[in-house]
Amino acid sequence: MRHAQGITSAAALAAVDAIRRHFAQRLAQNGEAPEIAAELANVLVLLESVDFAQADAAHLRASHHPVIRQLQSLVTAKTADVERAILAAFLPHLDVLPWRYSYDARADHPGLETRMAWSELVGPIAPFSSRKVCIGLTAIGPHTLYPVHAHPAVETYLVLSGAARWTMNGITRTQPPGMLILHPSNVVHAMQTDTEPLLAAYAWTGEVETLSSYSTAG
Ligand SMILES: [Fe+2]
């Protein structure tokens, strides 16, 4: 059920469940690298400690972030079936999600704060509260660089739409929908979109209460 003021707790839970089911499915298929499989298992265990019966209404409210306008050319046709369940859970609610962007403005990337944002559904600042695990959605508009950054939390991304160039430790790879990308604690990373916007689900574990910060080299 869509709500003009924000996403409902039922819709937010359905979106989290779609991600959780996908992670469980990928783990069961046994086709991931050992470090990714171990982190997926870690995320799934930590999600068991979250109280999904209680949603904080303040964090369900729509923020009407301008990144929504960057997502109008989302390419979903090329997305594999396994990711489609997650997209189906999120796409009807993109314009009413609690999007945010918590970096300071950068003179060398004017307007970046209008071209990317994330919406967290599980975490310290999220409708479903946790200090151990975060689940959310990151959106980056076309032709946008998310500059080099790092954070102590371990991060797993699942690409849902858009083939961006992902850089970690100076190595850049194009990652199409369906790819799982693991960023270990404090490892510097960046993303660069081309003509398509990027939509990716993410999970954080470990020190999730420390925000990400831009690296001086970026
Ligand atoms: Fe990150």
Distance 202 CA to ligand 1 centre (A): 9
Task: Give pLDDT, residue 73.
Answer: 73
Check whether 41 has a pLDDT greater than 90: yes
Reference 78, options 70, 67, 87; nearest CA is 87
CA of 208 to the centre of ligand 1 (A): 11
Please state the domain count of the chain: 1
Distance from Cα 189 to the centre of ligand 1, integer Å: 7
Q: For residue 33, how far is its CA from the centre of ligand 1 (angstroms)?
A: 19
Q: Is residue 39 within 8 Å of residue 66, measured between CB atoms?
A: no
Q: Say if residue 1's pLDDT is above 50.
A: no
pLDDT of residue 49: 97
CATH number of the domain within which 32 lies:
2.60.120.10
Residue 208 pLDDT exceeds 80:
yes
- Which SS3 state, helix, strand or coil, does residue 25 take? helix
Q: Quote the ligand 1 centre to 52 CA distance (angstroms).
A: 25
Q: Which residues surround ligand 1, an ion (CB under 5 A)?
A: 155
pTM of the model: 0.93
**DSSP letters along 97-155, please?**
S-EE--SPP-TTSTTHHHHEEEEEEEETTSSEE-SSEEEEEEEE-TT-EEEEEE-SSEE
Domain that holds residue 38: 2-214
Cα-to-centroid distance, 150 and ligand 1 (Å) = 6
For 23-35, how does the pLDDT look when each residue is reduced to its tens digit (9 = 90+)?
A: 999 999 999 999 9
For residue 218, name the pLDDT band (cuts at 50, 70, 90): very low
